[in-house]
Amino acid sequence: MTKLKTALLTTTLVASSVMASNAVLAHKTDRDVTKLAPTSKAWSYVKATTIYLYPQTTIRFNDKRANELNENPHAKEARVKAIYNGRSIAFLLEWPDGTKSIQKGCKSDVYGDGFAVQLPVNYKDASKLPYIGMGSDGRPVVIHLQKAAQPIYEPNGNGDVGMQQGTLNKNKFDKEVEKFDKEVSILAVTDYQRSFISEGFRSMTEIKDGSEKFSADMAYGNNGWKGKVARPLKDDYLKLNGAFPVAFATWDGERLQRDGLKYLSNWIPVKLIGQNGGGKLVEDLTKPVKGDVENGKNLVQQNGCTGCHYIPGLSQPSAMAPGLANIGGYSTAAYLKESIVEPNAVVVPGYNRNAHPNTPWYNVVDGKRVSTMPPYPLDDKSLNDMVAYLKTLKAEVK
């Protein structure tokens, strides 16, 4: 009996310590988590998990200045907390950013800081997760996005810019102006805060019917942002239980980041404390990759991968294929393996095909995207070695 008890105790200890170091543990509470602000004191009782955000270097932009500002960027260390009740879950992401950049409605060349929380619709099989960027064909994700933007002042509070009114086009003076400003500020809408369902670049569909109830907020202080997103555990799009993956993205407005120019985490497992299941998913997403890195590097060169792909030290940046400088930071081992053996499983959307007609990343055949990368049906050992090498491709953390 005692033996059994000790054995059980040891297993739970081992299991929990493994989980604690690898998964985001969502604490359970009775309170309404949708009401939490990024700066709420309640967060101080929730354990943080350290994650890393890697510069997404898939494509180079058609913007010289943005490219210069994002030359060889470091990765960022960030912290995630999660808390849930019977109905909803809230995430807090804390990430460093030396400058507070706010998007202004009237300027198209000023970009705001921002963040996004991404959740796969189907997540039971960790080896078939969607493309980390923004979902892929047949593998949709829900994205909650919040950008730091100047509130839009308008009398109806709907966020429709067409109805926007400022004091300048009102014939008002002094006290009247003050009164007007005060009234409309109560109705101010903080753009930009939206939810999307996405199966890849250019397929982002905004969920506008109100069925995706979420709240988001961000607060700046101490050289960094705190961003909060709260959403239902279950709705028309997602059923979150046991354990599930989440990914985070942040944009640095100062560096002219927008769209695919951002910082991106890998898929990170979240475990709902007090709920069963999902252990396999957590294990699959966190188990270390074993393989001969040196041999993997040789194989990557021998197989001509660098003829198309940019790998720092091995090849030059090009438009031929996605840059792999940070692929090890934001991709799972399973995704890398799948990319090599079966390029058509997930086709990275990449450039506008019309802009780069000589080097398309895919062709459309019978309405389906077909990758221009040839499949490499290698043996398991070679694949593991190659994946182990690709996992080392990532920027240093600063």
Binding site for ligand HEC (CB under 6 A): 58, 300, 303-305, 307-309, 320-322, 327, 336, 339-340, 343, 347-348, 350, 361-362, 371-373, 376, 386
Nearer to ligand HEC, 11 or 302 (CB): 302
Contact predicate 332/285, CB 8 Å: yes
Query: E strands along 277-367, which residues?
Result: 362-365
Residue 343 CA: distances (Å) to CA of 335, 339, 367: 10, 5, 17
The contacts of residue 124 (CB under 8 Å, 6+ apart) are: 281
Nearer to ligand HEC, 253 or 323 (CB): 323
Nearer to ligand HEC, 130 or 350 (CB): 350
What does the alpha-carbon distance between residue 112 and residue 25 come to, in Å, rounded to a whole number? 30
Nearer to ligand HEC, 145 or 340 (CB): 340
Question: Min. distance of Cβ 129 from ligand HEC in angstroms?
Answer: 12
| CA–CA–CA angle 79, 82, 85 (5° rounding) | 170
Nearer to ligand HEC, 218 or 348 (CB): 348
Contact predicate 134/200, CB 8 Å: yes
Question: Min. distance of Cβ 311 from ligand HEC in angstroms?
Answer: 9
Start-to-end C-alpha separation, the chain: 51
Collapsed DSSP state (helix, strand, coil) of residue 128: helix
Question: Min. distance of Cβ 337 from ligand HEC in angstroms?
Answer: 9
Question: Min. distance of Cβ 388 from ligand HEC in angstroms?
Answer: 12
Question: Min. distance of Cβ 310 from ligand HEC in angstroms?
Answer: 11
Question: Min. distance of Cβ 330 from ligand HEC in angstroms?
Answer: 8
What does the alpha-carbon distance between residue 94 and residue 226 come to, in Å, rounded to a whole number? 4
Q: Tokens for 390?
A: 């690709």
Nearer to ligand HEC, 240 or 346 (CB): 346
